[in-house]
Amino acid sequence: MKVESITLHRIGMPLVRPFETSFGRETARDVLLVQVRTDTGDGWGECVAGSTPSYSSEYVDGCAHVIENHLAPLLFGASPLSATDLERLFAPVVGHRMAKAALEAAVLDAELRASGTSFARYLGAVRSEVDCGVSVGISPSINELLTEVQGYVDAGYRRIKLKIKPGWDCEPVRQVRELIGADVALQVDANTAYSRDDIAHLGQLDAYDLLLIEQPFDEEDIASHIALARAITTPVCLDESIVSVGVAVDAIERGATSIINIKPGRVGGYLPAVAIHDACVERHIPVWCGGMLETGIGRAMNVALAALPGFTLLGDTSASNRYYAEDITEPFVLSNGRLAVPTGPGSGVTVRVDLIRQWATEQSRHLSA
Ligand code: NPQ
Ligand code: MG
């Protein structure tokens, strides 16, 4: 396959409700979409970076710049090309995994569409539908949080994840546990908002039968996660820290994490994501698929990934309407707490180019050799 040109589309998608985490509050999703044209047809990918470097060091303008100036030239210079070549091809560019992942997704989509293969089949899915969880933002009040959580339980979500930060942790968790009862799975995500001095405080969460506590400390601070894992009974799960197979194996072997959140964007693509999955399966570490407020493009691919055998915990693979009133593909609709894994070639979804034009926040950029 040969990549002939790349078009970068930038859109703003209004969220159905603001999404607040320990690092900020989003009211719209600023998304970079990547469309590749190859000699065998088109493919689409999505960049999961946010508009500011808050979740991680990457951000949308930075990703667009790296793609245009550093990654696209490498792609145009390589022929013939397969998605499996990309990790090596992009190796001269250090880091910038979200930018690399967006291109990888688009190349993979084009390649799989051309061969009539679905993402699910190609990645190794073993399920035709996946059980779904939902991530619930920090609320203006506990009452509003309880109303929102009840809505998700009523909608059929099988697992609730609460965003926490200092000042918004034990009491909201206690009241949500009381509301949903012992049978609904519950977990929390701090997005690095705590420090090592908070270990005793975080130990109070052990009272609420949580599935896990996700990334309480800095991305680079593996040592504090080891100390926490030794001090509390709630399992520690890393998200932001896990950027590669090497880091994943190191964190597991050192006892920093007993569960891993896999996000293809954070680790450089779907192929690195599968490699982390495989390393975790080998070490009996359960994994689950995270979410980055994806459009239907990334959502379709994530649902396929979440159907792999090691994804034994429920992901943040929610329905489209958790975030968006209208999606840029066919919407993903929850049925009995599950989403169907797409079966069509590539991602299996069709991009609504009319909506991309309507929601564009910048002129599309066309890149070619
Ligand atoms: C997480 N996601 O697991 C992330 C954090 C997150 C669903 O909880 C713009 C870009 C907004 C990236 C909001 C969920 C974001 C974002 C939240 C990432 O940590
Ligand atoms: Mg997280």
The per-residue pLDDT for 311 is 98
Q: Report the sign of the C-alpha dihedral through residues 194, 246, 63, 296, in that order.
A: negative
Q: Are residues 80 and 151 in the same domain?
A: no
pLDDT at 79: 83
The confidence band for 122, taking pLDDT boundaries of 50, 70 and 90, is very high
Active site residue 263: yes
Q: Is 165 a catalytic residue?
A: no
pLDDT at site 80: 79
Residue 215 scores a pLDDT above 90: yes
Tell me: pLDDT of 223 over 90. yes
Which residue's CA is minimally distant from atom 19 of ligand 1?
191
The answer, yes or no, to whether the previous bond of 73 is cis (omega within 30 of 0) is no
Q: Does 345 map to a domain? A: no
As for how many domains the chain has, the answer is 2
Q: Calculate what percentage of the chain has a pLDDT beyond 70.
A: 100
Buried b (16+ CB within 10 A) or exposed e, 8-42: bbbbebebeeebbbbbeebeebbbbbbbbbbeeeb
Confidence of residue 135 (pLDDT cuts 50, 70, 90): very high
Query: Model confidence over 139-182: pLDDT tens digits?
Result: 999 999 999 999 999 999 999 999 999 999 999 999 999 999 99
Mean pLDDT for the stretch of residues 290-297: 98
Protein residue closest via CA to atom 16 of ligand 1: 292
Range of the domain at 174: 120-340
Cα separation, 199 vs 197, in Å, equals 6
Are residues 264 and 282 located together in one domain of the fold? yes
Q: 31-41, pLDDT tens digit by residue?
A: 999 999 999 99
Measure the CA–CA gap between 330 and 38, rounded to whole angstroms: 24
* Ligand 2 mean position, distance from CA 138 (Å): 13
Claim to verify: residue 161 and residue 81 sit in the same structural domain:
no
Pocket test of ligand 1: the residue of 55, 59, 260 to mutate, having most ligand atoms within 8 Å of its CB, is: 55
Residue 40 within any structural domain of the chain: yes
Stretch 285-291: mean pLDDT, rounded?
Answer: 98
Average pLDDT for 334-341? 98
Give the pLDDT mean for 178-198.
98
- Tens of pLDDT, residues 307-334: 999 999 999 999 999 999 999 999 999 9
Report how far ligand 2's centroid is from the alpha carbon of 291 (Å): 8
**Same domain for 103 and 160?**
no
Asked whether residue 135 is assigned to any structural domain, the reply reads yes
**What is the CATH number for 160?**
3.20.20.120
Distance 244 CA to ligand 1 centre (A): 19
**CATH number reported for the structural domain that contains residue 52 in this entry:** 3.30.390.10
Distance, CA of 12 to CA of 34 (rounded, Å)? 15
For all residues of the chain together, what is the average pLDDT?
97
Same domain for 261 and 355, yes or no, is: no
Do both 126 and 248 map to the same domain? Answer: yes
Point out the ligand nearest to the CA of residue 22.
Answer: 1
Residue 96 belongs to a domain: yes
Amino acid (1-letter code) at residue 140: P
Atom number in ligand 1 closest to CA 263: 3
Query: Could you tell me if 127 and 85 lie in one domain?
Result: no
Does the pLDDT value for residue 53 go beyond 90?
Answer: yes
Could you tell me if 93 and 74 lie in one domain? yes
Ligand 1, atom 14: closest residue by C-alpha: 291
Ligand 1 atom closest to residue 24's alpha carbon, by position in its atom list: 13
Q: Which residues form ligand 1's pocket by a CB distance below 6 Å?
A: 19, 21, 26, 50, 55, 135, 189, 191, 239, 290-293, 316
The answer to whether residue 227 sits within a structural domain is yes
Beta-carbon contacts of residue 272 (< 8 Å; ≥ 6 apart): 87, 97, 244, 245, 264
- The answer to whether residue 31 is domain-embedded is yes
Is the pLDDT reported for residue 273 higher than 90? yes
23 and 99 share one domain: yes
Residues 281 and 252 in one domain: yes
Per-residue model confidence (pLDDT) at position 208: 98
DSSP alpha helix (H) spans, the chain: 60-66, 72-76, 86-89, 97-115, 119-123, 142-155, 170-180, 199-203, 222-231, 245-253, 264-267, 270-282, 296-305, 353-359
The mean pLDDT value for 275-304 works out to 98
Q: Based on the fold, state whether residues 156 and 68 are members of the same structural domain.
A: no
Residue 22 covered by a domain: yes
Q: Are residues 307 and 177 in the same domain?
A: yes
